[in-house]
Structure 1
Amino acid sequence: MKLKYFFLFFSSIIACNTWAQSAEEDVLFTVGDDPVYASEFIRVYQKNLDLVQDESQKDVDEYLKLFTNYKLKIKEARSQGFHENPGYKKELESYKKQLAKNYISDPKVTDELVEEAYQRITHDVNANHILVKISEDASPADTLAAYNKIVKLRARTEKEGFEKVRKEVHNGKTIYGEALGYFSGFKMVYAFENVAYNTPVGATSQPFRTQFGYHILHVIDKRKSEGEREVGHIMIATGPEANDSIVHKAEIKINEVYAKINQGGSFEALAKQFSEDTSSAEKGGKLRPFSRGQISVEAFENVAFSLENEGAISEPFQTKFGWHIVKLYRIIPVSDFETMKTELAEKVKRDSRSKIIDQALIDTLKKKYEIDDEQVSLSYFESILNDNYFKNTWVLPSDFSSEKVLLNIKEEQISYQNFGDYLLKTQRQTRRKKPLKDLVKEKYQAFLKDQLMAYQESHLETENEEYASVVHEYRDGLLLFELMENTIWNTAQTDSLGVKKYFETHQSDYMFPERIDAVIASSSKKKDLKTVSKLLEQQENVETIKSAVNKNGDVNVIFTSGVVEANHQGLPKDFEFKKGVSKIFKHNDAFVVVQVKDVFPKKQKTFEEAKGLVVNDYQTLKEEKWIDSLEKKYHVKVNQDVFKKVKNQLK
């Protein structure tokens, strides 16, 4: 269903918040009896001006057509009752719940954690550690034994040295002594990260606990972050499952390209000519900047970060995707705080730091909704619990006081039954015995958190304007998807007769393009290609020509052979497809000569070969006719005087 979520994103480009419109505002147009306000159109247009890719949508007149069509579809979706579908309601509620997490937090605590996170991602720590492994729910006796063990190990490190002890005690089962290397913020669990950043270089920490057990760590070094690298690459692709022959041919070609670079050839020109990473080849091989851990190929990352000087070029190296040469363009330090603030806030909320934010939020909500823990009596629940709870066999007593009110959150009453049900639902999570008073208190705090969060979430749309706006956009986007899927996409897919008829009347639109079987020779020196041209005219094979022009380890000419289309990167623009050896062209900052062995003319595609494109085109036609019918059904009336004012304002 990837299409679904792409469509929802696209629809949000033209959706907007209408919940707080004023009746006194200028009405730009009406859809049936429904008004659409000028302020809404202006806000949406300005908000999404930089997001649209189609230049026509930046034209105000064209955008008005797009916007009126959007409003027509929403009107029709509600008319057909799609907003009442159970599946639609369920997905909308799921989205609202997920979205609410971004709006239910304590901003002050979050901001403090974000600032701390920024300081940490701008610096790396190199540390080793010793871990005595112990589970989170271990018995008090086992927990104490693990703690005593880590204390003794720390005492040993002070006498014998941390590294000596670390290597000796590591067994990979109960005790781990690991060299961690450099890491920065978010790379370790928060408790571990805290200790690492707060321990001075050369010092060993006091014992501390994480979910894995008890640790001590020794800080070896701290340094500023490596930041990002902007590089370009030339890739000859092989793929992860390539056989030895393919890999060997790719290695030969990458070494030829590397030899050309060493002979003074332009990296960027060679990338345009030969790199098989099509997304970067046309840009001279240039990639977007990235930091450590952002790309999935560690070998590539290591080479990129090993280059020390801007302009430096690596030797050829292999990854699972093929053979590469990398050029370093820029070393980019970590961005400033304001640039990274939003991204870091999202990471903080997903990290174990979120527990700190949650607790701060609960404290805030208690104050907001006037909840006093001391007013809640839990003694009744202590009296009805017993050891069966730790065996997952406890049940509520038959005379349970279910109707009694436990607490109030504003106008909402939380009953004993609510808390009793929570105890039943969560008892399987409790195996380790503890005093019943402590158990009830712990469960109540977790229950209270859930209740406060649920109450806040259910009232968020009336309390937070931004949240309400985003929900409105998603609500209409999801509604629009349901309508389009049922009205256009599914019917076009199932209307096989209509699709075939469309193909039969538009066959000329579905052709294989003209192609050639060719040898493309490229060189930075025109004189070398004159030699190649003569040899090609004499029908010499490529290997013989290579031997003639690439001597003494120099690669003066690089060859590409095979069946290609007119848009192939090695062919000059508007290259004429005819048999024989072409003239020498200037192309991609180099010279090119092409031998055309055979020309394959345009060929009609069969229905099966063109089916995907035909269905898409048929859907477009069907949608255009459908929009016409909606305009007749609901009638869109534009207030031209208001639209004139809107255009002047947008100018």
Structure 2
Amino acid sequence: MNIKYIFVLFFTLFLPQVKAQTSKEDVLFTVDSEPVTASEFIRVYNKNLDLVQDESQKDVDEYLKLFTNYKLKLKEARALKLDEKPSYIRELSNYKKQLANSYITDNKVTDELVEEAYNRVSYDVKASHILIKLPEHASPSDTLVAYNDIIKLRDRALAEGFEKVREEVHNGQTIYGEDLDWFSGFKMVYKFENAAYNTPVGEISMPFRTRFGYHIVSVQDKRKSRGERTVAHIMIFQKKEDANQEQSAERIQDIYKKLQQGETFETLAKQFSEDKSTASNGGRLTPISSGQLNSKEFEDTVFGLEEVGDISEPIKTEYGWHIIKLLNKKPIASFEDMRPELEQMVKRDERSKLIDEALYAKLRAKYGVSEEQPALPYFVGLLNDDYYKLSWKLPVAFEANKPLVKIGDEQLLFVDFGNFLVKNQHYNRSADTFENIVNQAYESFLNTNLVKYQEEHLEEEDEDFAHIVGEYRDGLLLFDLMESTIWDAAKTDSLGVRNFYESHKAKYIAPEKIDAVVASSAQQKTLKKVSKLIEQGMSVEDIKALVNSNDKIDVIFTEEIMDAGHQVLPENFEFKKGVSKIYKHNDAFVLVNVKDIIPETQRTFEESKGLVLSDYQTYKEEQWVAELAAKYPVEVNQEVLNQVKSQLKLNK
């Protein structure tokens, strides 16, 4: 995601409803005499309350400091005329257009389609189909031939059996006969999905057309969705230096043998899984749904585990080696839980055309636009064969300024539709009639302008939309200001950054580390034996050969340079050369042989540059905000602030 959008996201989330006790006009504070209302502060405070990580910032006084600093920066941005930059205006316009898409819709039709989609994703269908390919804009005669052919194939399939006919007619060019196996909602184009889900098991659908041509579908079976699985895994990455894959394969097999010997999955995951994001949690992953993963091998293994507690054999994916344990099986999520995701999927799918059609009808009624358009015959009479050649132009005597249609308070003229016709000329092989061309063009022209009109007036019509756009407008402006004033300036101030490093060196220290071998085992007595062998000077490889065998792995060794936070080291482990005592760690036992202690060292400027730059930017920003506060005095109305505090306390 673009960093600019991450930055302004803080200001663009939907807001909870707060019953105002202060008046909308009550001024909480002024910035250089410019008022900021209490209602705005309350709204933003409540919206961001759950996003604030620092508990101190949830205090109203502390949050007021943040908010006044924010307003100071916006005051400076406008003083610098950053809101007049073409790039800023263009980006804000694009955002408004994108955001408007979620407001300009027909909710009733959307709700019906979302409910239908939930019913579809709740079941899988197993089907085959026969397709006679046909161009989307084929001539009527070609369309009739294809339709008659698919009817004949359906009759044959009913008499001879669908699979027999499917295999015989498939040529991979004009006719396709394919076994589609199992699929669910949104996996096929919408018309195909409708036919598959509406055809009973064991039957063949009537012919139907998609953009690919004419189909018939044979539905073989239907089943409930496989739902959701929660698993844990132990993962060993395929390291670049392990070109022959032997080291990682050997390590995963060693871990698998320990599982077969009765050691617990969670303990081994904590000790040895190289997926750092899950190892400390026993390898537990977030729940997985069918079709969600990029790795087919991993997904097939997950859904192949039958009983909770089952553990897979080691499997290889493109990411490395895994051992997977089934922790939970859950049916498909409830409708309410899936609703937001399904709504987005519906709006991206071709079924969104149904939503669009309902929207256009609603906007026509809302803005008083008639279904009739008496001017269309005039435009039909203007077209000639040049339109098919993409060379048609408006005639000299064209009645440009004559009123065509009014949307709200905006009057569209003949010239607007005339230019639309000129711009949207398309070469048409079927030589569609001028009447059809004009009628279809007018529908598109009118629908486009209906949506455009509502987009342009949405801030007036929808308060929630207006708030979000306003906050994004400010957030985008603030990003531009910070980028030019602080971030870019700090990056180019090499001397200032270097001096900051020199005066804060104590902050940039590399921690103490050890060069060590850690032996991990479920048996304490085994590590006592290992301890003696290490003290006798035996190598790790020789010790492994002595205490482990092909059938049994008692000890796994980890040999590398590590700091105190390494997953194999016990908490608060004391760095001391030699063989340590045996510790209980991650539900197992560990023994540490510290070969060398690497003391903490001062990080060089180059090693610390990223962190130094970030700290320097924070330092510069604090100085700059203080200068802004002096430039634009802030005055807080204490009486209104007390009312705000009381109101926020009541609403908790």
TM-score by length of 2: 0.95
Mapped contact 2:15–2:46 kept (Cα < 8 A)? no
* CA-CA distance at 1:362 after TM superposition: 0.8
CA-to-aligned-CA distance 1:73-113 (integer Å, 9 cap, x gap): 22222222211111111100100011111111111111111
Matches within 5 A, 1:590-605: 590-605=588-603
Mapped contact 1:521–1:560 kept (Cα < 8 A)? yes
**Equivalent in the alignment of 2:579:** 581
Which of 332, 343, 347 matches 2:345? Answer: 347
Separation in structure 1 between the aligned mates of residue 512 and residue 470 of structure 2, nearest angstrom: 49
The 1:415/1:297 distance shift into structure 2, 3 A limit, reads same
* CA-CA distance at 1:2 after TM superposition: 2.4
* CA-CA distance at 1:581 after TM superposition: 1.2
Which amino acid in the other structure matches residue 83 of structure 1?
A: D
**Equivalent in the alignment of 2:498:** 500
* CA-CA distance at 1:647 after TM superposition: 3.9
Separation in structure 2 between the aligned mates of residue 372 and residue 13 of structure 1, nearest angstrom: 37
CA-to-aligned-CA distance 1:15-55 (integer Å, 9 cap, x gap): 9999x998665443332323333343333333333223333
CA-to-aligned-CA distance 1:181-236 (integer Å, 9 cap, x gap): 22111111111111111100001001101111111111111111111111111100
Moved more, 548-557 or 623-632: 548-557
Matches within 5 A, 1:33-112: 33-112=33-112
* 1:575 match: secondary structure: coil
Which amino acid in the other structure matches residue 501 of structure 2?
A: F
* CA-CA distance at 1:360 after TM superposition: 0.7
Separation in structure 2 between the aligned mates of residue 44 and residue 650 of structure 1, nearest angstrom: 12
Mapped contact 2:498–2:605 kept (Cα < 8 A)? yes
CA-to-aligned-CA distance 1:451-487 (integer Å, 9 cap, x gap): 1111111111111111111111211111110111111
**Equivalent in the alignment of 1:283:** 281
Percent of pairs with identical residues: 58
**Equivalent in the alignment of 1:623:** 621
Separation in structure 2 between the aligned mates of residue 15 and residue 35 of structure 1, nearest angstrom: 22
* CA-CA distance at 1:321 after TM superposition: 0.5
* CA-CA distance at 1:164 after TM superposition: 1.0
CA-to-aligned-CA distance 1:269-319 (integer Å, 9 cap, x gap): 211111111111111111111211222212111111111111111111000
**Equivalent in the alignment of 1:117:** 117
* CA-CA distance at 1:640 after TM superposition: 4.1
Q: How many residues align?
A: 648
**Equivalent in the alignment of 1:439:** 437
Separation in structure 2 between the aligned mates of residue 527 and residue 600 of structure 1, nearest angstrom: 30
Which amino acid in the other structure matches residue 584 of structure 2?
A: K
* 2:372 match: secondary structure: helix
**Equivalent in the alignment of 2:178:** 178
Which amino acid in the other structure matches residue 492 of structure 2?
A: T
Mapped contact 2:24–2:37 kept (Cα < 8 A)? no
Mapped contact 1:403–1:415 kept (Cα < 8 A)? yes
**Equivalent in the alignment of 2:570:** 572
**Equivalent in the alignment of 1:612:** 610
The 1:508/1:429 distance shift into structure 2, 3 A limit, reads farther
The CA RMSD over aligned residues, in Å, is 2.2
**Equivalent in the alignment of 1:464:** 462
Which amino acid in the other structure matches residue 509 of structure 2?
A: M
The 1:152/1:498 distance shift into structure 2, 3 A limit, reads same
Which of 434, 447, 452 matches 1:454? Answer: 452
**Equivalent in the alignment of 1:226:** 226
* CA-CA distance at 1:391 after TM superposition: 2.1
Separation in structure 1 between the aligned mates of residue 27 and residue 99 of structure 2, nearest angstrom: 31
* CA-CA distance at 1:160 after TM superposition: 1.3
Separation in structure 2 between the aligned mates of residue 227 and residue 362 of structure 1, nearest angstrom: 37
Mapped contact 2:420–2:445 kept (Cα < 8 A)? yes
CA-to-aligned-CA distance 1:242-274 (integer Å, 9 cap, x gap): 6533x2111111111111112221211211111
Mapped contact 1:16–1:469 kept (Cα < 8 A)? no
Separation in structure 1 between the aligned mates of residue 148 and residue 277 of structure 2, nearest angstrom: 57
Separation in structure 2 between the aligned mates of residue 408 and residue 508 of structure 1, nearest angstrom: 71
* 1:428 match: secondary structure: coil
Mapped contact 1:236–1:250 kept (Cα < 8 A)? yes
**Equivalent in the alignment of 2:208:** 208
Matches within 5 A, 1:261-280: 261-280=259-278
Mapped contact 2:305–2:311 kept (Cα < 8 A)? yes
**Equivalent in the alignment of 1:158:** 158
Mapped contact 1:17–1:473 kept (Cα < 8 A)? no
Which amino acid in the other structure matches residue 119 of structure 1?
A: N
CA-to-aligned-CA distance 1:543-582 (integer Å, 9 cap, x gap): 1111222236111111111122221111112222232111
* CA-CA distance at 1:13 after TM superposition: 6.9
1:557 is the counterpart of 2:555: yes
**Equivalent in the alignment of 2:311:** 313
1:530 is the counterpart of 2:528: yes
**Equivalent in the alignment of 2:420:** 422
Structure 2, gaps ≥5 residues long = none
* CA-CA distance at 1:138 after TM superposition: 2.0
TM-score by length of 1: 0.95
Separation in structure 2 between the aligned mates of residue 7 and residue 435 of structure 1, nearest angstrom: 53
Separation in structure 2 between the aligned mates of residue 212 and residue 21 of structure 1, nearest angstrom: 60
**Equivalent in the alignment of 2:243:** 244
The 1:263/1:334 distance shift into structure 2, 3 A limit, reads same
**Equivalent in the alignment of 2:399:** 401
Structure 1, gaps ≥5 residues long = none
* 1:372 match: secondary structure: coil
Mapped contact 1:15–1:476 kept (Cα < 8 A)? no
Which of 384, 387, 395 matches 1:386? Answer: 384
Separation in structure 2 between the aligned mates of residue 225 and residue 95 of structure 1, nearest angstrom: 37
Which amino acid in the other structure matches residue 314 of structure 1?
A: S
Moved more, 4-13 or 346-355: 4-13
* CA-CA distance at 1:431 after TM superposition: 4.7
* 1:285 match: secondary structure: coil
Separation in structure 2 between the aligned mates of residue 370 and residue 21 of structure 1, nearest angstrom: 38
* CA-CA distance at 1:628 after TM superposition: 1.1
Separation in structure 1 between the aligned mates of residue 259 and residue 647 of structure 2, nearest angstrom: 54
Separation in structure 2 between the aligned mates of residue 57 and residue 644 of structure 1, nearest angstrom: 17
CA-to-aligned-CA distance 1:401-430 (integer Å, 9 cap, x gap): 221222111221111111111112111364
Separation in structure 1 between the aligned mates of residue 463 and residue 510 of structure 2, nearest angstrom: 53
Mapped contact 2:231–2:328 kept (Cα < 8 A)? yes
* CA-CA distance at 1:116 after TM superposition: 0.9
The 1:315/1:481 distance shift into structure 2, 3 A limit, reads same
Separation in structure 2 between the aligned mates of residue 622 and residue 16 of structure 1, nearest angstrom: 35
Mapped contact 1:230–1:331 kept (Cα < 8 A)? yes
1:636 is the counterpart of 2:629: no
* 1:586 match: secondary structure: strand
**Equivalent in the alignment of 1:517:** 515
Moved more, 66-75 or 123-132: 66-75
Mapped contact 2:123–2:224 kept (Cα < 8 A)? yes
* 2:221 match: secondary structure: strand
**Equivalent in the alignment of 1:130:** 130
* 1:50 match: secondary structure: helix
